[in-house]
């Protein structure tokens, strides 16, 4: 199986579906991460080349932890992504060349404009990846990809409705390891942005614990919110799942039946 995750920033794939990626790679499937922007503005003190290169290295490190064979970073300004035809064609090319079984991206109504426009770009590319006459020099993929949205908590115009909820308990440590690679994000920018920079420990090991204590509740909350689906998918074991990630099928991808979900996400036995 080939899985393609298109996030807006270097770390979105990790945060929202790092556990899923680990589930795939640990079973021998191929996963590729894409960041639609280069991360060059998500910081309070540095930016431009210094930040873009640092975040590139962080992303590559995270990819290694995840067993992800490629982490492609589009060299576009973070905070300025637009749903232009030029960007649409770039996304079309990436999807065609990778030809994924499963394609994962943001919902079009998340809090960050780059998230929203990444979603728009993927939606706008979706059907057109099957039209040979657009981006004529790159062959169409073998099928319309199955597109899934990563989880978010926003409720308007419509709340997230999970079609797949994946337990990540057995890989949760590695997922934290992935986030730990993103130093500039999790120990610098996001703490600054949330006003908790003074809480970040200095020492490597303490940092990681702090990171876990900060981030794990989010994944617990997902498991609790979608407990019913966990039980439906995992059987009784679903009751005790502690950490989860959730995904919603996008209507503009290939239609996905309940059976296909089991095939595309082969984790439920």
- Tell me which residues touch its own copies (CB under 8 A): 38, 40-53, 56, 73, 75, 77, 79-80, 82, 84-89, 93, 111-113, 116, 123-124, 126-128, 130-138, 154-158, 193, 251-252
Least distance in Å: CB of 83 to its own copies? 9
Least distance in Å: CB of 68 to its own copies? 18
Least distance in Å: CB of 31 to its own copies? 21
Q: Considering beta carbons, is residue 29 or 93 the nearer one to its own copies?
A: 93
Q: Considering beta carbons, is residue 105 or 123 the nearer one to its own copies?
A: 123
Least distance in Å: CB of 170 to its own copies? 32
Q: Considering beta carbons, is residue 150 or 168 the nearer one to its own copies?
A: 150
Q: What does the alpha-carbon distance between residue 175 and residue 177 come to, in Å, rounded to a whole number? A: 5
Provide Rg for the chain, Cα atoms: 18
Q: Considering beta carbons, is residue 123 or 229 the nearer one to its own copies?
A: 123
80 phi-psi bin (left φ>0, alpha ψ -120 to 50, beta other): alpha
Q: Considering beta carbons, is residue 101 or 124 the nearer one to its own copies?
A: 124
What is 223-265 written as a DSSP string?
HHHTHHHHHHHHGGGGGG---EEEEEE-TTS----HHHHHHHS
> 32-54: buried (b, 16+ CB within 10 Å) or exposed (e) per residue?
bbbbbbbbbbbbeeeeeeebbeb
Q: Considering beta carbons, is residue 113 or 266 the nearer one to its own copies?
A: 113
**Of 63, 64, 59, the residue nearest 74 (C-alpha):** 59
Least distance in Å: CB of 14 to its own copies? 18
Q: What does the alpha-carbon distance between residue 248 and residue 149 come to, in Å, rounded to a whole number? A: 5
28-241-246-145 Cα dihedral, nearest 10 degrees? 30
Least distance in Å: CB of 75 to its own copies? 5
């Amino acid at each position: 199986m080939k899985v393609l995750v298109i996030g807006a920033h270097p770390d979105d794939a990790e945060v929202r579906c790092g556990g899923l990626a680990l589930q795939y790679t640990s079973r021998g499937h191929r996963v590729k991460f894409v960041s639609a922007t280069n991360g060059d503005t998500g910081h309070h003190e540095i930016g431009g080349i210094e930040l873009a290169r640092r975040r590139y290295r962080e992303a590559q490190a995270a990819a290694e932890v995840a067993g992800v064979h490629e982490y492609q970073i589009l060299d576009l300004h973070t905070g300025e992504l637009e749903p232009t035809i030029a960007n649409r064609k770039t996304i079309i090319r990436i999807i065609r060349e990778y030809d994924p079984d499963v394609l994962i991206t943001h919902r079009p109504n998340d809090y960050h404009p780059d998230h929203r426009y990444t979603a728009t770009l993927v939606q706008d590319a979706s059907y057109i990846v099957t039209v040979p006459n657009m981006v004529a020099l790159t062959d169409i993929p073998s099928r319309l990809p199955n597109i899934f949205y990563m989880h978010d908590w926003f409720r308007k115009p419509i709340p997230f409705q999970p079609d797949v909820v994946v337990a990540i308990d057995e890989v949760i440590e590695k997922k934290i390891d992935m986030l730990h690679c993103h130093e500039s994000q999790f120990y610098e920018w996001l703490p600054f942005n949330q006003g908790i920079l003074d809480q970040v420990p200095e020492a490597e090991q303490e940092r990681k614990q702090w990171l876990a204590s900060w981030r794990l509740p989010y994944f617990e909350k997902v498991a609790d919110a979608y407990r019913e689906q966990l039980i439906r998918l995992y059987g009784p074991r679903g009751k005790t799942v502690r950490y989860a990630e959730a995904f919603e099928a996008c209507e503009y991808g290939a239609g996905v039946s309940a059976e296909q979900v089991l095939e595309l996400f082969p984790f439920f036995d």
